[in-house]
Amino acid sequence: MSEGDRMETAGGARQIELPEDRHRQELEFLAGWDGGPRPPGWRMTPRAVVLFVCGSDGEPLRAADGRQQVVSRKFVGDRALVERCVVTLAGERGLLLVGEPGTAKSMLSELLAAAVCGTSGLTVQGTAGTTEDQLRYGWNYAMLLAKGPSRKALVPSPVLTAMTRGAVARIEEVTRCLPEVQDALVSLLSERRMSVPELAGGDGADGTVHAVPGFTLIATANLRDKGVSEMSAALKRRFNFEEVGPITDLDAETALVRGQATAALKRSGAGFAVDDAVLEALVTAFRDLRSGRSAEGWEIERPSTVMSTAEAVHVATAMGLGAAYLGDGRDVVRTLPGHLLGTVRKDDPSDHARLLGYWDGPVRRRAESGAPLWRTLWELRDELA
């Protein structure tokens, strides 16, 4: 295979598909399904956006041309939360999704952006190294030196692109951005325009780029990162805050973990071979440690690590990969204690003792009650040593 063939092959495969690509058929159907009023620049009605995110509960929707489509549920959470998010975006107001890490804030923002404007890719990843230019614009310096400042030499940021298209821009981890970068958002969300003084000309043009109808912004922030770069009161006033919490239902969380892990293994060409009982035990352990209380009501010392649904997906995927690639006849449940320990010790080595406390408490008591799987897990306590 030539180098060009390898590049073409690699370019056709993706580790992660954008929601606008993965759910293209549903998006195209919903765009024509509801003929109700649409906010400026929106590809579908607000009601259709909510349906895209929350699903149709297994019921087929019928379009005017006779087509039918079952819309899958993509976000496992409160429908009222999704409806409030959609109303916020319809009013062209900034939306800030806050919550513990791993509660699908980014996924929800991607789904909303894909449904509203057709793309979730106008994104700025907030870090301590994010600069104001990444929110505003840069230059193609070869063209700038050759022909001077011009629209062709301008390299717009994702935010500026969203302003000119009337689209949704996304800023991940906004509280990780330095205060001066956050301050740049205040004027953007207030004035809805961006000054590019280099483009001001003698013909009276002042170089200002105005946001067209439909432009808005979704930001995400982790509650545990509150102290990184505290948002100013001025910036907070320009967002509607919505908190995305953990999944409350065990069955719903187990189904989500199974689905995400199965999809990850499918990309690897392997089947998901983790027994449903083992998967439920995994999710139960995550829920117990996350909340500090077992399903039976027993108190548990919570580890400092966030035991999120996203982490549970990673552990389930790792167990599935081990069974697929390294399976030697051993029961996959025997790998669960080691994977849990690797998750719990990420932030603080002393969390090791808290996991042992969980084993000596709920795991032992469930084993003594006669639950076979929990008896097996109790017998594996030495794996945590």
Provide mean pLDDT across the span 164-186: 93
Rounded CA gap, 240 and 84, in Å?
9
Alpha carbon 57 to its chain's center? 22
Q: What is the pLDDT of residues 196-243, one digit of tens each?
A: 888 876 444 678 889 999 999 999 998 777 667 888 899 999 999 999
Half-sphere exposure of 383 (CA within 13 A, CB side): 17
Which amino acid appears at position 13 of this protein? A
- Comparing 265-269, 289-293, 299-303, 304-308, which segment has the lowest mean pLDDT? 265-269
The pLDDT-based confidence of 1 (bands split at 50, 70, 90) is very low
Rounded CA gap, 380 and 375, in Å?
9
Strands 60-62 and 208-210: unpaired
- Comparing 114-128, 156-170, 269-283, 360-374, which segment has the lowest mean pLDDT? 269-283
What count of residues does the chain have?
Answer: 385
Rounded CA gap, 303 and 355, in Å?
8
- Comparing C-alpha atoms, which of 242, 238, 234, 280 is closest to residue 258? 280
Q: What is the pLDDT of residues 3-19, one digit of tens each?
A: 555 444 445 667 788 99
- Residue 358: which H helix or E strand, with range? helix 351-358
Rounded CA gap, 256 and 251, in Å?
9
- Report the pLDDT value the prediction gives residue 114, as an integer from 0 to 100: 98
What lies within 8 Å, CB to CB, of 285 at 6+ separation is 336, 340, 358
- Report the pLDDT value the prediction gives residue 60, as an integer from 0 to 100: 94
- Report the pLDDT value the prediction gives residue 379, as an integer from 0 to 100: 95
Residue located via tokens 């909303």: 112
- Report the pLDDT value the prediction gives residue 8, as an integer from 0 to 100: 47
The pLDDT-based confidence of 268 (bands split at 50, 70, 90) is confident
- Report the pLDDT value the prediction gives residue 252, as an integer from 0 to 100: 93
| Torsional sign, CA 314, 320, 326, 328 | positive
Residue 30 near residue 48 (C-beta atoms within 8 A)? yes
Phi, psi of 219 (to 5 degrees): -120, 155
The CA–CA distances, whole Å, from 202 to 153, 199, 205, 208, 331 equal 19, 10, 7, 14, 76
Rounded CA gap, 130 and 133, in Å?
8
- Report the pLDDT value the prediction gives residue 174, as an integer from 0 to 100: 93
Phi, psi of 242 (to 5 degrees): -135, 125
What lies within 8 Å, CB to CB, of 276 at 6+ separation is 254, 258
- The alpha helices in 247-348, defined as continuous H runs, are 250-267, 276-291, 309-326, 336-344
- Report the pLDDT value the prediction gives residue 79, as an integer from 0 to 100: 95
Q: Which long-range contacts (CB under 8 A, 24 or more apart) does 233-238 make?
A: 234/186, 235/182, 235/183, 235/185, 235/186, 235/189, 238/93, 238/94, 238/185, 238/186, 238/189, 238/190
- Report the pLDDT value the prediction gives residue 200, as an integer from 0 to 100: 78
- Report the pLDDT value the prediction gives residue 88, as an integer from 0 to 100: 97
- Report the pLDDT value the prediction gives residue 168, as an integer from 0 to 100: 97
- Report the pLDDT value the prediction gives residue 6, as an integer from 0 to 100: 47
- Report the pLDDT value the prediction gives residue 201, as an integer from 0 to 100: 67
Q: What is the pLDDT of residues 61-106, one digit of tens each?
A: 999 888 999 999 999 989 999 999 999 999 999 999 999 988 999 9
- Report the pLDDT value the prediction gives residue 205, as an integer from 0 to 100: 60
| Torsional sign, CA 154, 157, 162, 163 | negative
User: Which tokens belong to 15?
Assistant: 């580790």
